[in-house]
Amino acid sequence: MGRPSRLPGTAKIDQIVCHVDADCFYAACERLREPALRGEPLVVGMGYEPGTDSGAVATASYEARAYGVESAQAISEALEQLPRKIDAASRDDLDVAAAGFYRPVDMEFYESVAADVKAVLHEWADTVREVSVDEAYLDVTEQTSWDEVEEFASSLKAEIQERVGIVVSVGVAPTMSAAKVASDHDKPDGLVVVPPESVSDFLAPLDVEAVHGVGPVTADALREQGIETAGDLAAADPAVLERSFGQRGRRMYRFARGEDSRSVEPRGQPKSFSRESAFTEPTADREKQRQRVRTLASAVAQRAARRGVLYQTIGIKAVTPPFDVTTRERTLPGPAGDEALVERLALSLFEEFEGQQIRKLGVRVANLSFGSETQSQLQVWANEGQKTTSDKSDSRNDTHRQNECDERECEHNHEHEHEYERDVGQRTLSEFE
């Protein structure tokens, strides 16, 4: 199927942004290679071992969501809501019809499917910004017009389904943040077009949690201030929002008003990889904090390893109430690629914060080396992991306070991931790129 071209002379107004996000992506991938899972309740678990109740839910098919299973839940909890088919079949007290299938995460396979989807996206738009394994923004201003974009997006969905076998939801709007909200609006299999003149009307009635960048914890805090909808947020006093939420407050205010001056830019080589995770409520529980640091550290190290990237700087970020951000980092004498080392250094950098009230934690690796020329050094630094920190380049004492950046994708190619604002406690945090 070819892409529809823009009619000659059709006026284009502003930027036309498509946000594409696959539906229950990991589950959809599992169904590609195991078609018997189609239409069935299906849970994909991170750290899940078949037959056990270990790990956390990475995603659940929409059939499984109907039983209350959701991302970041413990598998043990999911099993209470949705038992395994195989267990239900052998027990009188369980109903096979109300049971589901469980599969472990296979990131390598999902990345290969994601690459196939992205190949289609690059054929359909000159500018594609890939933001995670299953989502991307496309600038389609040159490819279509507001009059035709619905047909364009529907053909794009059909082509992805035909060539890759994956269902995606698409949102179209004049800004990235509104397009993101639009793609989420009618999931699964959604297609929502919000033309420039309708952005405010589209956003206003939505729950405040639908606004890009507002997670469940922030939404609760906003509701306490009487801000229930995106319209309420758009009408709030930005100075008050800034006092409560820092820079993020202004940003969500702008997004709620449909204001977002970002243009879709392709990603260059990342400058850092980071991952952060908020506690539902600030906590002073040391073991909970340390466990979170360890999980974030290993997720970041594994992501770098999957990309074949080495790093020379390892850092942490601690957000203490109200929204004070402190970062610490340490630079090694040479590039390393060692998960245990990242964990160890992150924990040691975190020591000074242990036991303080912490709202959010982050781990970051930077000073990246790409490509095979660095591979030979990998083993050297991995082996010498224990003694790699150099006092000279140790920036541990550089206290660095900044306003919290809450962008899932940073403007300067610092690949930045935010866990959903849920307390996943000591469970394995799921991965999403």
* Residues contributing to the site for ligand TTP (CB under 6 A): 21-26, 46, 58-59, 71-72, 133-135, 187-188, 420, 430-432
Q: Which of the listed partners (ligand TTP, Mg ion, none) does 69 bind, with a CB threshold of 5 to 8 Å by partner kind?
A: none
Given its phi and psi angles, is residue 55 left (phi above 0), alpha (psi -120 to 50 degrees) or beta? Answer: left
CA–CA separation, 32 and 37 (whole Å): 9
Continuous segment of H or E residues that includes residue 416: strand 414-418
421 binds, among ligand TTP, Mg ion, none (CB under 5 to 8 A by kind): none
Query: Considering CB distances under 5 to 8 angstroms, the limit depending on partner class, which of Mg ion, ligand TTP, none binds residue 58?
Result: ligand TTP
Q: How far is the CB of 414 from Mg ion (least distance, A)?
A: 22
Query: 40 catalytic, yes or no?
Result: no
Shortest distance, position 253 Cβ to Mg ion, whole Å: 26
What 3-state DSSP class applies to 276?
Answer: strand
When CB distances are held under 5 to 8 angstroms depending on the partner's kind, the choice from Mg ion, ligand TTP, none that residue 175 binds is none
Query: How far, CA to CA in Å, does 52 sit from each of 47, 58, 84, 411?
Result: 10, 16, 10, 41
Nearest-CB residue for ligand TTP: 430
The backbone torsions φ and ψ at residue 159, rounded to the nearest 5 degrees and listed phi first, read -70, -40
Binding mask 20-39 for Mg ion (x = CB under 5 A): -xx--x--------------
Question: d(Cα 133, Cα 128) in Å, to the nearest integer?
Answer: 13
Between 56 and 241, CB nearer to ligand TTP: 56
In this complex, which beta carbon is closest to Mg ion, that of residue 160 or of residue 236? Answer: 160
Among 167, 175, 152, smallest CA distance to 16 is for: 175
- Kindly state the smallest distance separating residue 44's Cβ from ligand TTP, in Å: 7
Q: How far is the CB of 21 from ligand TTP (least distance, A)?
A: 5
Residue 420 interacts with which of ligand TTP, Mg ion, none, CB < 5 to 8 Å by class: ligand TTP
Minimum separation from the CB atom of position 386 to ligand TTP (A): 32
Binding window for Mg ion (CB under 5 A); candidates: 18-26, 198-206, 384-392, 414-422: 18-26
Query: What, of ligand TTP, Mg ion, none, does residue 72 touch, CB below 5 to 8 Å by kind?
Result: ligand TTP
Beta carbon nearer to ligand TTP, 58 or 230? 58
Identify the active-site residue in 135, 209, 409, 431.
135
Using the rule CB under 5 A, give the single segment among 17-25, 83-91, 190-198, 406-414 that binds Mg ion: 17-25
The minimum distance between CB 303 and ligand TTP, in angstroms, equals 12
User: Is 48 or 245 the residue whose CB approaches ligand TTP more closely?
Assistant: 48
Extract the tokens encoding 254.
């702008």
Nearest to 70 by CA among 97, 41, 38: 41
153 binds, among Mg ion, ligand TTP, none (CB under 5 to 8 A by kind): none
Question: Which one, 137 or 353, has the nearer CB to Mg ion?
Answer: 137
209 scored as a contact of Mg ion (CB under 5 A): no
Cα separation, 219 vs 301, whole angstroms: 31
Q: Are 365 and 313 in contact (CB under 8 A)?
A: yes
Range 330-389, binding Mg ion (CB under 5 A): none
For the CB of residue 383, give the shortest distance to Mg ion in the complex, in Å: 40
Task: Indicate the residue type of 192.
Answer: V
DSSP string over 165-224: ---EEEEEESSHHHHHHHHHHT-SS-EEE--GGGHHHHHTTSBGGGSTT--HHHHHHHHH
Return the number of the residue (23 or 343) whose C-beta is nearest ligand TTP.
Answer: 23
430 interacts with, out of Mg ion, ligand TTP, none, CB within 5 to 8 A per kind: ligand TTP
Query: How many Cβ atoms sit within 10 Å of the Cβ of residue 321?
Result: 12
Closer Cβ to ligand TTP, 290 or 418, answer by number: 418
By C-alpha distance, which of 22, 66, 48, 160 is closest to 104? 48
130 near Mg ion, judged by CB under 5 A:
no
For ligand TTP, which is the closer residue by CB, 131 or 405?
A: 131
Q: Does 329 bind Mg ion (CB under 5 A)?
A: no
Q: Which of residues 141-200 bind Mg ion (CB under 5 A)?
A: none
Kindly write down the DSSP assignment for every residue of 81-112, as one continuous string.
HS-BHHHHHT-TTS-GGG-BEEEE--HHHHHH
Q: Would you mind telling me the total number of residues written for the chain in this entry?
A: 433
Contact 54, 47 (CB under 8 A): yes
Whole-angstrom Cα distance, residue 40 to residue 373? Answer: 46
What six digits make up the tokens of 341? 């080392």
Which of helix, strand or coil describes residue 370?
A: coil
Query: Which parts of this chain interact with Mg ion (CB under 5 A)?
Result: 21-22, 25, 134
The catalytic residues are: 135
